[in-house]
Amino acid sequence: MTTSDFSELTDFADQESPVQPPESERELLEIELLLEGVHRLYGYDFRNYALPSLRRRIWHQVHAEQVTTISGLQEKVLHDRACFERLVFSLSIPVTEMFRDPPLFRAFREKVVPMLRTYPYIRIWHAGCSTGEEVYSMAILLHEEGLYDKARIYATDMNGRSLQVAKEGVFGIQKMKQYTKNYQEAGGTRSFSEYYTAKYNSVIFQPFLRKNMIFAEHNLATDQSFNEFNVIFCRNVMIYFDETLRNRVHSLFHESLSHFGVLVLGAKESIHFTDYSDCYEPLDRVEKIYRKIK
Ligand SMILES: C[S@@+](CC[C@H](N)C(=O)[O-])C[C@H]1O[C@@H](n2cnc3c(N)ncnc32)[C@H](O)[C@@H]1O
């Protein structure tokens, strides 16, 4: 499996489902019952995901499963594990790219790497890493800065299918042109093609990049902290959460970061308006890089 298999999904755009009429009381109840059933039967908790995108994804699955109502989808999901897994896959929106938002990676090199040089070892957590492009980008960056050997990169996601792709490090060859451009704009210092070998329509990333990566399923809605980190990346994940769940995740990150630990959020995310806004100072306000100060 490669990321090409996921190409039908989009994240911010998220617009492929036909527009639905405004939600009714009945529709909200059906969504609530579906999410409650999924939580009770399978342990996956989507109850605090933001409604607009959740609703679009659920309707997308109603059509994909060829049922006519959300209740119809609920019945199928509760009786057919494969249908439940397809729903999780659709709700997880595993869209990503290498060196996504190149200026962020450039800022990370300039503002965070000098701090990391002073540490005897470095632990980085990529929470919601999807198919791993962000994680391979980090491994390349640390390798070029001479820091990879003393780093451990923990890559987690709730979606086991995405993690499997991440572990294999096999990506679609058609994406390499864009990734090469991103890499150069992110301050890459070599030829990007040094890092992979092409085979038919795929590329496989060099095994040395994987040697300090640890992959594990972890659900930000239900699981606990599992280590102390110098850096946490959680980009383009919390945009899908409501305020309650965002605060839960910020509590988890605050607990998991060492003093002066660095938190990196997505372009459309912010530490402001969370319960933890006072606990961080910006290292780069535009690129959403924050440092824990209390
Ligand atoms: C749009 S992708 C972002 C990937 C990458 N961080 C990036 O910015 O390119 C969102 C990822 O968050 C994951 N995710 C969503 N809810 C999650 C949860 N509760 N716990 C862990 N991961 C979650 C999804 O499975 C998906 O892989």
Q: What is the CATH number of the domain that holds 151?
A: 3.40.50.150
Give the distance (Å) from ligand 1 centre to CA of residue 227: 19
Tell me, yes or no, whether 273 lies in a domain. Answer: yes
Tell me, yes or no, whether 23 lies in a domain. Answer: yes
Tell me, yes or no, whether 53 lies in a domain. Answer: yes
95 lines ligand 1 (CB under 6 A): yes
Show which of 92, 123, 143 is a domain's final residue.
92
Rounded CA separation 30/39 (Å): 14
Show which of 40, 63, 92 is a domain's final residue.
92
236 lines ligand 1 (CB under 6 A): yes
- Indicate whether 159 and 187 sit together in one domain: yes
In which band, very low, low, confident or very high, does the pLDDT at 23 lie, cut at 50, 70 and 90?
Answer: confident
Res 14: pLDDT: 47
Tell me, yes or no, whether 218 lies in a domain. Answer: yes
The number of angstroms, rounded, from the C-alpha of 91 to the middle of its chain's C-alpha atoms is 12
Q: Which residue's CA is the nearest one to ligand 1's atom 12?
A: 128
Tell me, yes or no, whether 37 lies in a domain. Answer: yes
Tell me, yes or no, whether 228 lies in a domain. Answer: yes
Rounded CA separation 23/52 (Å): 10
- Indicate whether 127 and 244 sit together in one domain: yes
DSSP letter for 197, please. Answer: E
Q: Where are the beta strands (DSSP E) in the chain?
A: 122-127, 151-157, 170-172, 196-199, 202-205, 213-217, 229-234, 257-265, 280-284, 289-292
DSSP state string for 215-247:
EEE--TTT----S-EEEEEE-SSGGGB-HHHHH
- Indicate whether 60 and 119 sit together in one domain: no
- Indicate whether 190 and 113 sit together in one domain: yes
Res 13: pLDDT: 41
What separation in angstroms does the CA of 144 have from each of 92, 141, 168, 243, 263? Answer: 32, 5, 22, 38, 21
- Tell me what the mean pLDDT of segment 36-63 comes to: 97
- Indicate whether 288 and 182 sit together in one domain: yes
Token pair of 119 as six digits: 């540490």
- Indicate whether 84 and 125 sit together in one domain: no
Tell me, yes or no, whether 97 lies in a domain. Answer: no
| pLDDT tens per residue across span 74-127 | 999 999 999 999 999 999 999 999 999 999 999 999 999 999 999 999 999 999
Tell me, yes or no, whether 150 lies in a domain. Answer: yes
In which band, very low, low, confident or very high, does the pLDDT at 21 lie, cut at 50, 70 and 90?
Answer: low
- Indicate whether 243 and 126 sit together in one domain: yes
Burial label for 186, CB within 10 Å (0-12, 13-18, 19+), is: buried
- Indicate whether 117 and 161 sit together in one domain: yes
Res 16: pLDDT: 46
Number of domains in the chain: 2
- Indicate whether 275 and 152 sit together in one domain: yes
Res 18: pLDDT: 53
Average pLDDT across the chain, whole number: 93
Q: Which residue's CA is the nearest one to ligand 1's atom 25?
A: 92
The residue count of the chain comes to 294
134 lines ligand 1 (CB under 6 A): yes
- Tell me what the mean pLDDT of segment 176-198 comes to: 97
- Indicate whether 168 and 282 sit together in one domain: yes
| pLDDT tens per residue across span 226-257 | 999 999 999 999 999 999 999 999 999 999 99
- Tell me what the mean pLDDT of segment 147-152 comes to: 98
- Indicate whether 112 and 155 sit together in one domain: yes
- Indicate whether 53 and 165 sit together in one domain: no
Token pair of 80 as six digits: 């057919």
Give the distance (Å) from ligand 1 centre to CA of residue 8: 16
Strand order in the sheet with 202-205: 170-172, 202-205, 196-199
Show which of 92, 110, 125 is a domain's final residue.
92
What separation in angstroms does the CA of 290 have from each of 107, 112, 258? Answer: 12, 10, 13
57 lines ligand 1 (CB under 6 A): no
Domain that holds residue 286: 102-292
Query: What percent of the chain stands above pLDDT 90?
Result: 91
